[in-house]
């Protein structure tokens, strides 16, 4: 009993110390006006997604340089701090702790990978730091409804609905068979497609699951062939998508093959070969050369860094700008460095930002209302752009 009490005491002592440190650090060095503000970026600077991460962090740096003079006028020094998560959830966690532990951090442009942002969002939430992701699409990230978490990319749930609309309105197809890979991602997407397709008048002939890692889908396809579908929608990843489309053609099926961003990539062609010709795939966002409001940013990036923007630069640039605009609003409202984080969270969630991606507003979960998906047709081993559609804009 005594031991337990001692343990409890020492624990509470530890907590008290921890709490004390935080307030001491925050309150000590800053007056009510002026001081240092840091915009953090936690992105994959090394590892498999290093190319994307470097472009995104350069875009963040560019935004900070543009804003720094305006903050200087009001007596604040604006800084940028880039941390590497290497696309690794463990490293993402420690980077999240590092930037949140810095009392001058008012916001984070956070993570490229859903797998990193999902655990790290807990850290930002408990530290009260606004974190906006430029790239993650997993539906679960915003489901917890933390006010500190938001993203400027569309999420996977929208994809199924937009694809169903596209199939009906632009491909003018009516009879479909739906296949999924029984994963959270693939089956979830296929269910959205099926349910939304049903409400807009698509005829869903069948709904079947396959096993990831399996290669022989001929039994299932032979059955589906009997129904003579005009198209087959597949929710899943590139390997199974490639084998499916190949075996469809081997069985003499001429149905259009339609799939998702999980199938979008070179591997789809590597596996499916010439059978992929004419397949339709969806991918989040707008291709950057088609993004009207982004042209100024693209030109600025090119002249500053001497290389063109490839992919997520505009998203990171907008995420940074939303945070910086909110911080400026907080400064104008007279916030001090202690209240800065809370003020930025409030400002960012209420923002109506006109940026490189167009108009960005967040819904009550933190998802952008600017939800765009583009559709591509597989042609000669390349994805040929067809059109972009948005929802809720």
Partner 1 sequence: MKTTAEKVQLALGIGLIPIAVALAVAAIAMLLNKPEAFAQHLVNGLTLGGLFALIALGYTMVYGIVELINFAHGEVFMLGSFLGLIAVQVLFGWDITNIWIVLPVATVISMIGCAAVGVSLDSIAYKPLRRNPTWGAVGAAAVSFVGLTMVLRAGMEGQMSLGRVGGAVILIAFAWAAFALDERNPSPPRKTPRINALLSAIGMSILLQNLVRIAVGSDTQTFPQMDSFTGLPATSFTMPVGAGGATIEVLYIEVFTIASAVLLMVLLDQLVNRTNLGKGMRAISQDPEAAMMLGIPVNRVITMTFVIGSALAAAAGILHGLKYGGVKFIDGFIIGLKAFIAAVLGGIGNIRGAMLGGFVLGLSETIVVATMEYCWLAIGRLTGSPDTWPQAEFFDYKDVIAFLILVVVLTFRPWGLLGTPEVDKV
Residues in contact with partner 1 by CB under 8 A are: 206-209, 211, 213-216, 218-220, 222-223, 225-226, 239, 242-243, 246, 250-252, 267, 270-274
Reduced 3-state DSSP string for the chain: CHHHHHHHHHHHHHHHHHHHHHHHHHHHCCCCCCEEEEEEEEECCCCCCHHHHHHHHHHHHHHHHHHHHHHHHCCEEEEEEEEECCCCHHHHHHHHHHHHHCCCEEEEEECCCHHHHHHHHHHHHHHCCEEEECCCCCHHHHCCCCCCEEECCCCHHHHHHHHHHHHHHCCCCCEEEEEECCCHHHHHHHHHHHHHHHHCCCEEEEEEECCCCCCCCHHHHHHHHHHCCCEEEEECCHHHHHHHHHHHHHCCCCCEEEECCCCCCHHHHHHHHHHHCCCEEEEECCCHHHCHHHHHHHHHHHHHHCCCCCCCHHHHHHHHHHHHHHHHHHHHCCCCCCCHHHHHHHHHHCCEEEECCEEEEECCCCEECCEEEEEEEEECCEEEEEEEEEECC
Q: Which is nearer to partner 1, 218 or 338 (CB)?
A: 218
Q: How far is the CB of 161 from partner 1 (least distance, A)?
A: 24
Q: How far is the CB of 265 from partner 1 (least distance, A)?
A: 10
Residue number with CB closer to partner 1 (126 or 211): 211
Report the relative pairing of strands 35-43 and 76-84 from DSSP bridges.
Answer: parallel
- Closer to partner 1 at the Cβ: 228 or 304? 228
Is 20 exposed, middle or buried (CB count within 10 Å of its CB: 0-12, 13-18, 19+)?
exposed
If the CB atoms of residues 93 and 205 are measured against partner 1, the closer one turns out to be 205
Q: How far is the CB of 217 from partner 1 (least distance, A)?
A: 9
State which residue, 220 or 335, has the beta carbon closest to partner 1: 220
Indicate the residue among 26 and 381 with the shorter CB distance to partner 1. Answer: 381
Would you say 178 or 345 has its CB closer to partner 1?
178
Nearer to partner 1, 143 or 212 (CB): 212
Q: How far is the CB of 384 from partner 1 (least distance, A)?
A: 21
Rounded to a whole number of angstroms, the minimum distance from the CB of residue 383 to partner 1 is 18
Provide the minimum distance between the beta carbon of 272 and partner 1 in the complex, in angstroms, as a whole number. Answer: 8
Q: CB of 135: closest distance to partner 1 in angstroms? A: 22
Cα separations in angstroms, 180 against 189, 283, 309, 355: 8, 17, 34, 36
To partner 1, the closest distance from the beta carbon of 237 in angstroms equals: 11
By C-beta, is 180 or 341 nearer to partner 1?
A: 180
CB of 113 to partner 1, least distance (A): 17
């Amino acid at each position: 009993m005594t031991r337990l009490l001692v343990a409890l005491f020492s624990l509470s002592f530890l907590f008290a110390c921890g709490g004390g440190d935080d307030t001491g650090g925050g309150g000590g060095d800053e007056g009510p006006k002026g001081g240092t503000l840091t915009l953090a970026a936690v992105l994959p600077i090394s590892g498999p997604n290093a190319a994307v991460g470097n472009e995104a962090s350069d875009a963040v740096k560019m935004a900070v340089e543009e804003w720094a003079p305006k903050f200087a006028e009001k007596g604040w020094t604006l800084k940028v701090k880039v941390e590497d998560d290497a696309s690794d959830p463990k490293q993402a966690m420690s980077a999240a702790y590092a930037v949140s532990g810095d009392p001058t951090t008012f916001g984070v442009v956070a993570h490229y990978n859903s797998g990193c942002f999902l655990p790290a969002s807990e850290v930002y939430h408990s530290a009260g730091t606004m974190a906006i992701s430029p790239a993650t699409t997993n539906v679960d990230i915003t489901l917890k409804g933390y006010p500190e978490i938001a993203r400027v990319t569309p999420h996977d749930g929208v994809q199924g609905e937009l694809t169903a609309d596209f199939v009906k309105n632009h491909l003018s197809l009516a009879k479909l068979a739906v296949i999924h890979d029984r994963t959270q991602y693939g089956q979830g997407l296929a269910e959205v497609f099926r349910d939304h397709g049903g409400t807009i008048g698509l005829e869903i002939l069948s709904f079947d699951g396959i096993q990831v890692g399996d290669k022989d889908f001929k039994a299932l396809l032979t059955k589906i062939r009997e129904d003579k579908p005009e198209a087959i929608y597949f929710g899943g990843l590139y390997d199974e998508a490639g084998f499916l489309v190949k075996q469809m053609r081997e069985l003499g099926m001429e149905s259009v093959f339609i799939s998702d961003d999980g199938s979008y990539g070179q591997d789809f062609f590597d596996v499916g070969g010439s059978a992929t010709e004419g397949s339709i795939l969806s991918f989040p966002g707008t291709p950057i050369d088609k993004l009207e409001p982004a042209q100024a940013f693209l030109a600025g990036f090119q002249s500053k860094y001497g290389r063109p923007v490839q992919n997520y630069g505009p998203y990171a640039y907008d995420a940074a700008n939303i945070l910086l605009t909110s911080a400026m609003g907080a400064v104008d409202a007279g916030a001090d460095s202690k209240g800065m984080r809370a003020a930025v969270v409030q400002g960012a969630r209420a923002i109506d930002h006109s940026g490189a991606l167009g108009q960005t507003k967040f819904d009550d979960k933190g998802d952008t209302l600017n939800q765009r998906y583009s559709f591509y047709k597989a042609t000669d081993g390349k994805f040929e752009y067809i059109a972009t559609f948005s929802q809720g804009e």
